[in-house]
Chains A and B, each alone.
Chain A
Amino acid sequence: MYPVWQLPVTGSALVIAFIASFHILPSHLATSAFWFNVYIEDKAYRQNRPELLEFIKRYVLTILIFSFVFGSLSGVGIWYSTTVSNPKGISALIHNYVWGWATEWVFFVIEVVAIYVYYYTFGKVDKKTHLTIGLIYALGSWISMITITGIIAFMLSPGKWLKTGGFFDGFFNPTYTPQLFMRTSFMFAVAALYAIVVAATLKNREVKSFIIRRASLWGIAGTLLGSLFFLWYYKSLPDAAKEMADMTPLIPKIIPHIVIGSLIVLMIWFIFTIIKPDWARLVPGIVAIMVLLGGIFSAESMRERIRKPYVIDHYMYSNQIISNDMPAKQVKSNIADINTQGILHYSYFVPENLRDVNNQNMLQAGRIIAQIECSACHTLQANGWLRPLPKMVKKAGLGNVDDAQAFIGFLNAFPFMPPFAGTDMEKKALAVYLASLYK
């Protein structure tokens, strides 16, 4: 096992959550925006309406700065944060999907080069060439979505991969197609929302209402299709994940309501802007984007939660312990080894005086065990933000060591919890530590 990284209050998983949530905005903008952009530019040339080009220039600069600095850095940030919070998890993904990621990288490079070339060649090259660069960007960014969705969906529903270990068996997994269709549809809704925000700042009234009306139509189509595909996606979820979605302590009841509520608000906004494009303003436009992001954020967080207790379904638990044998890749579950050797021997990064549990070091040893096996999902401090252990202990009423030890023995009775791995002495040490948290 790798060493453990933990921040005092936030833990480590929340760091991923913060960075990943932020990434939603620039990344979705980056993939969606150019479809609408190229569509309008094409209209401007075909119908000879140069006044539309003013919109495009404004539209691109924001994306350039926002998506290609904050977007690409937060994208790298997801990687960094998963690396330091869950190195074995990201390692498993990388060692299966390195070529997938490398492929995505190629298109990422294409995107970055394309957006700069697009921006700086404006008016300096012929129309056809400029449109082509825009189209290259749009296609490139969509392809990067096509690639990354395969890896994200794989974590939730690896499907046949568990048997074959095949790259494409895991890539084209049961939730891939509905998820890709859903993301692609919402992509157009994001583009529309952003177009309305930019158009709201335009002075030319005619251009403004033309663009807002067109964008609203895109938005309505995207939202409707996206919602339909969302239902398909939900149907395609593995049964265990569906059960998990209904579990109250894991998924707060409010989350599905936020998702549905945000879709309704969006539809109302698009209908409003079709009827009264003149009334579209910057602030409500930005609010509408935030509403959509709230919806996406809730859906993404649901996807992360219903995967529990795994980081890769039926292969690795959230605490980086390999749960199942995987003969196709000659991998054995870690659990048997950890149960015989003890987690404190199995892991290299453990203080020497705690490797063998005895009556003197029990409390400290228990704490290290909790750091290794529990801290991925629970902060150890009472004031922690992520399902803090002291609160859990209190809720379960684990006031004495015997109760705590019995509880640890039946952890996997909760479908979202991995089982304890380690020797009986280690189990006792963890129980001593947990009971000590009861106040």
Chain B
Amino acid sequence: MSVSEMLKSLQDPMGVPFYPFVFQILLVLTFALHIIFVNLVIGGSFMAVYSYFRTGKYYRSLSKTFARATTINLSLTIVLGVAPLLFVQVVYDPFWYTSNVLSASWMIGILFVLMLAFSFAYVFYLKSYKEKQRIAIWGILSFSLIILAAIIMHTISYQALLPEKWFGWYVNNNKVNLYGAQLHAFQLPRFFHFVVASFALTGIFMMLYSWYFWKREDIDNSYIVWVGKTGAKIALIFTLLQMIDGVWWLLSLPVNFHFYTNYIFLISVSVAVILLLVLIKAQSDPERYALPLAMIAMINVLAMSSLREVLRMLYVGRYNYSLYNYKLNISYGSTALFLVSFVMGIIIVGYMTTVVFKMGRSSKPVDLSSLKLRAWSVYLMIAWLLMMIVIGLTITVNHIQ
């Protein structure tokens, strides 16, 4: 059996319930969301510890802010990771499943790594309010475990792209490796590209922080200015490093990919250059540039996420695998169910984000009861329930007949 035949034989015989490109778009989109929070967790948990070791009142506040943000960001990272995890196994099931099984013990281990990382992050955060405690160890442990989790995830994703090596990893000297206790592949420049980006995005996050709290009279303005300037500096340095690492990664890719001629690659590079130029300009007045910079950075992440998908298509294309050829068994009903829920979700999350945004901008309690979306959020959910009841009753009546 050739590698290409093996991949075909592993694809699910039932096919996919909607056109594969829709899953691909959702995969790229939700991965971008997920990785933004991954970046903020890596960068933020590092900054929490780093600032803790620096002296001065400002660094102390910054450490607390990042310690608290890390706990929230980690929860969001996990919940946002579920969607790409789901979509990748719809259209790339042979790759994802095999890679997981081959390092299964690590994949189970990552759960405990993350549980510990989170617990330590919480200890670090809660203790950071008590002065003069030796608490750095919790932050360091948490950060190290987060990096370990990143190494595992990187390996699983990268192994998935190398199906010709799977057999050798699984069967060695005619013996079968049942325990999945090894990590088999690692690509340093690719891994760095995720880690270095974390610091660039964390820097931009600091600029946004400064923009957001600019108008709060109860917060020391010189601190806010300092956070913005420090963030701008970090973002600039790491965007530069990210570009250097990008070149390294590009050079380490298989030559026959001709990746540098790919138009999505060229778009991504252009966006990155624009980001760099705006960052240079933003150094003197970070607060003013924070919002446009954040937008450009989002576009950049989205472009990188698309580029990652293009790269995956090139890797799997070597074995004549294309997700566009996946067998179809279209289910309009369930596709509509998701799309309706998705739009609803955006509205409701949008409402809640507005509430937090307005609350944080004010130093006093705010009255937001007149927001129109408040009632609508609840109505939408009730409408969703009614819709399911109607579908359920119709189906049940049909089954009885």
Among the listed stretches B57-65, B283-291, B349-357, which one makes contact with chain A, having 4 or more residues with CB under 8 Å of it?
Answer: B349-357
Instruction: Give CA–CA (A92, B81) in the complex, Å.
Output: 21
Q: Mark B105-131, 1 if CB is under 8 A from A, else 0.
A: 101101100110011001000000000
The answer to whether A109 touches B345, judged by C-beta atoms less than 8 angstroms apart, is: yes
A72 close to B174 (CB less than 8 A): no
Map CB proximity to A onto B341-374 as digits: 1 under 8 Å, 0 otherwise.
Answer: 1101100110011011001000001111101001
* A96 closest partner in B (C-beta): B14
Report whether A348 and B6 are in contact in the complex, using a CB–CB cutoff of 8 Å. Answer: yes
Asked whether any CB of chain A lies closer than 8 Å to the CB of B392, the reply is yes
Which of A6, A68, A106, A133 meets B75, CB within 8 Å? A68
| A125 contacts chain B at the CB level, 8 A cutoff | yes
Chain A, range 63-78, C-beta contacts under 8 Å to B: 65, 68-70, 72-74, 76-77
Mark the stretch among B82-90, B206-214, B256-264, B300-308 that contacts chain A. B82-90
Flag the segment in B197-205, B269-277, B330-338 that touches A: B330-338
CA distance A114 to B72 in the complex (A): 12
Interface size class of A (residues with CB under 8 A): 35 or more
C-alpha spacing A99/B341, complex, angstroms? 10
Structural contact, A351 and B171, CB atoms closer than 8 A: yes
State whether the Cβ of A50 lies closer than 8 Å to any Cβ in chain B: no
Contacts of B97 on A, CB cut-off 8 Å? 2, 83, 87, 90-91
**Cα separation A83 to B101 with both chains bound (whole Å):** 7
Residues of A within 8 A of B119 (CB): 69
Known contacts A101-B86, A128-B369; A80/B100 CB under 8 A: yes
- The DSSP consensus for interface residues of chain A is helix
Please, which residues of chain B bring their CB within 8 A of the CB of A109?
79-80, 345, 349
Complex Cα–Cα for A329 and B17 (A): 10
Q: Shortest Cβ distance from B165 into chain A, in angstroms?
A: 13
B80 CB contacts on chain A under 8 angstroms: 109
A168–B175 CB distance below 8 A: no
**Residues 320-341 of chain A, each 1 if its beta carbon lies under 8 Å from chain B, else 0:** 0010001001111000000000
**CB nearest neighbor in B for A101:** B86
Asked if B161 lies at the interface with its beta carbon under 8 angstroms from chain A, I say: no
The answer for the CA separation of A4 and B97 in the assembled complex, in Å, is: 11
> Which residues on the B side are within 8 Å of A132 (C-beta)?
374-375, 377-378
Closest A residue to B115 by CB, please name it.
A73
Residues on B with beta carbons closer than 8 Å to the beta carbon of A129: 355, 367-369, 371, 374
A8: Cβ under 8 A from any B Cβ: yes
Whether a CB of chain A sits under 8 angstroms from the CB of B396 is yes
- Contact pick for B93, options A91, A349, A352, CB 8 Å: A91
Q: Assess whether A167 is interfacial by the CB under 8 Å rule.
A: yes
Is B86 in contact with A105, judged by CB distance below 8 angstroms? yes
User: Which residues of chain A have C-beta atoms less than 8 A from B93's C-beta?
Assistant: 87, 91, 94-95
Indicate whether B384 reaches chain A with its CB closer than 8 angstroms. Answer: yes
Q: Nearest CB to that of A114 among chain B residues?
A: B352
Closest CB-CB distance, B398 to chain A, in whole Å? Answer: 8
Q: In the complex the two chains form, is B90's CB within 8 Å of A95's CB? A: yes
The interface-forming segment of B47-55, B176-184, B217-225, B238-246 is B176-184
Known interface pairs A8-B179, A113-B349; A348-B167 also in contact (CB < 8 Å) = yes
Q: Are B12 and A95 in contact (CB under 8 A)?
A: yes
Q: Which residue of A70, A116, A348 is within 8 Å of B72 (Cβ)?
A: A116
Find out whether the CB atom of B365 lies under 8 angstroms from the CB atom of A7. Answer: no
Does residue B227 face the partner (Cβ distance < 8 Å to A)? no
- Chain B residues with CB under 8 Å of A332's CB are 13
CB pair A349–B171 under 8 Å, yes or no, is yes
Q: Of A105, A165, A351, which one neighbours B176 at CB under 8 angstroms? A: A351
CA distance A350 to B178 in the complex (A): 12
Number of contacting residues on B, CB 8 A?
95
**Pair B333/A103 contact, Cβ less than 8 Å:** no
Greatest chain A CB density within 10 A among B81, B96, B110, B329 is at B329
Candidates A72, A128, A352; contact of B79 at CB < 8 Å: A72
B window 167-197: CB within 8 A of A: 167, 170-171, 174-176, 178-180
**CB-defined contacts of B26 to chain A, threshold 8 Å:** 102
Q: Inside 8 A of B76's CB, which chain A residues have their CB? A: 112-113
Specify the chain A residue showing the minimal Cβ separation from B396: A172
CB closest residue in chain A, given B96: A83
Q: Which residues of A contact B1 (CB under 8 A)?
A: 348
Inter-chain contact A125/B368, CB cutoff 8 Å: yes
CB neighbours (8 Å) of B118 from chain A are: 69, 73
CA distance A19 to B108 in the complex (A): 10
Q: Which chain B residues border A160 with CB–CB below 8 Å?
A: 399
Q: Whole-angstrom distance between the alpha carbons of A422 and B353 in the complex? A: 57
Whether B108 and A4, one on each chain, are in contact in the complex, defined by CB atoms closer than 8 angstroms, is no
User: A76 contacts which of B101, B111, B355 (Cβ < 8 Å)?
Assistant: B111
12 residue pairs of the A-B complex, CB under 8 angstroms, read: A5-B105, A68-B75, A69-B119, A79-B85, A80-B100, A83-B101, A95-B14, A99-B17, A103-B337, A117-B356, A132-B378, A353-B174
Q: Which 4 A-B pairs have the closest CB atoms?
A: A84-B104, A99-B334, A106-B345, A167-B334
Apart from A102-B342, A143-B384, what 12 extra A-B contacts exist at CB < 8 Å? Answer: A2-B98, A3-B101, A5-B105, A74-B111, A76-B111, A83-B101, A96-B14, A103-B341, A140-B348, A143-B381, A168-B391, A349-B167
Instruction: Point out residues on A near B: beta carbons under 8 Å.
Output: 2-8, 12, 15, 19, 65, 68-70, 72-74, 76-77, 79-81, 83-84, 87-88, 90-92, 94-103, 105-110, 112-114, 116-117, 120-121, 123-129, 132-133, 135-136, 139-140, 143, 146, 159-160, 165-169, 171-172, 176-177, 322, 326, 329-332, 348-354, 368, 371
Listed in ascending order, the chain B residues whose CB lies under 8 Å from chain A are 1, 6, 9-10, 12-18, 23, 26, 72, 74-76, 78-83, 85-87, 89-90, 93, 96-98, 100-102, 104-105, 107-108, 110-111, 114-115, 118-119, 122, 166-167, 170-171, 174-176, 178-180, 327, 329, 331, 333-335, 337-338, 341-342, 344-345, 348-349, 352-353, 355-356, 359, 365-369, 371, 374-375, 377-378, 381-382, 384-385, 388, 391-392, 395-396, 399
